[in-house]
Amino acid sequence: MTGPCFVDANVFVYTLDARDPKKHRRAEQWLDELWRTRSGRTSAQALAEFYAVTTRKLSWWDAMIVAAAQLQDCVLLLTEDLQDGAAFGGAGVTRRSPEFGL
């Protein structure tokens, strides 16, 4: 890379969202490299969008749902969000899509 690189909000979001492992891994690699070379740039607007997405749409609400299921000793989390079959807390809560039968 020969100069600065602007990073939009979605790249920051992908570093927290592991539902798409390829995008997650590539976003982490990009940010690691940009941090190492001190060539990353962003804006207040991109950071505000990142904040809005991660606190309203992605990590905050999903994390609260998973935590509530864990606190109630649930073994299954029935939701359209998150990755089907994802396990949280080791052998704790497993996500299941309601579109699949019992």
pLDDT in tens, the chain (102 residues): 578 899 999 899 889 887 788 888 999 999 999 999 999 999 899 899 888 888 776 676 677 778 888 887 777 777 776 666 777 776 577 777 666 655
pLDDT for res 53? 84
Q: Which two tokens stand for residue 37?
A: 């070379």
Strands 40-41 and 87-88: unpaired
Domain boundaries, the chain: 1-57, 62-102
- Report phi then psi at 83, rounded to 5: -85, 130
